[in-house]
Amino acid sequence: MMINDRENELVTPVAVYEYMQEVGIKYPEIVWSQVALETGFKSDIFLENSNLFGMKRAAHRPNVQEGVGRGHATYLNWKMSVIDYAIWQASTGVWKFKNEAAYFNYLGAKYAEDPQYVYKVKEIRDNFNSNLETYDRRFTGDTATVLRASLN
């Protein structure tokens, strides 16, 4: 796996999804939908911490986090946040789940702070292809803002 650590690496929603698939994220459509909900590819936590997921600093599992900013984990770049999510999945055993329903149940019981979290993620996931295209157009279109993740 290659990690591109150039400054101001271009980040697009499609690139995030493709990288999730490359590193073996379980249920990448759901996880991408979490990113769309958690950071929208533009939150301060993402832009300042390169943290796509709003993950907090891990205290009791292996991780690739660099530190803490705004109460959330910081990463060298956005790809490292995807790798850390894969490590989180492995450390919790969610990779054993046989279907999306089991994964959603786990997210609702163990991951989410918002009681509506699973419902919101499902809404995005249910229209995944359309949402992926819409988000990507926002970030790659001629009039859209181009997102760049800074490397601390």
Structure confidence at residue 42 (pLDDT)? 85
| Residue 139 confidence (pLDDT) | 75
Task: Give the model's pLDDT for residue 137.
Answer: 84
Quote the CA–CA distance of 97 and 30 in Å, as a whole number: 13
Residue-level pLDDT at 9? 61
* pLDDT tens for the 152 residues of the chain, in order: 344 444 456 688 999 999 999 999 999 999 999 999 988 888 899 989 999 998 999 988 999 999 999 999 999 999 999 999 999 999 998 889 999 999 999 999 988 889 999 999 999 999 999 999 998 888 766 333 334 433 33
Structural domains of the chain, with CATH: 9-139 (1.10.530.10)
Q: Are strands 67-69 and 9-10 parallel, antiparallel or unpaired?
A: unpaired
Helix (H) or strand (E) holding 90: helix 78-92
Token couple for 32: 């991408």
pTM equals: 0.84
- The answer to whether the CB of 139 falls within 8 A of the CB of 13 is yes
Asked whether 9 and 147 are in contact (CB, 8 A), the reply is: no
- C-alpha 71/C-alpha 148 separation (Å) is 22
Round to the nearest angstrom and report the end-to-end CA distance of the chain. 21
- Give the integer Cα–Cα distance in Å for 13 and 138: 9
pLDDT, residue 151, reads 32
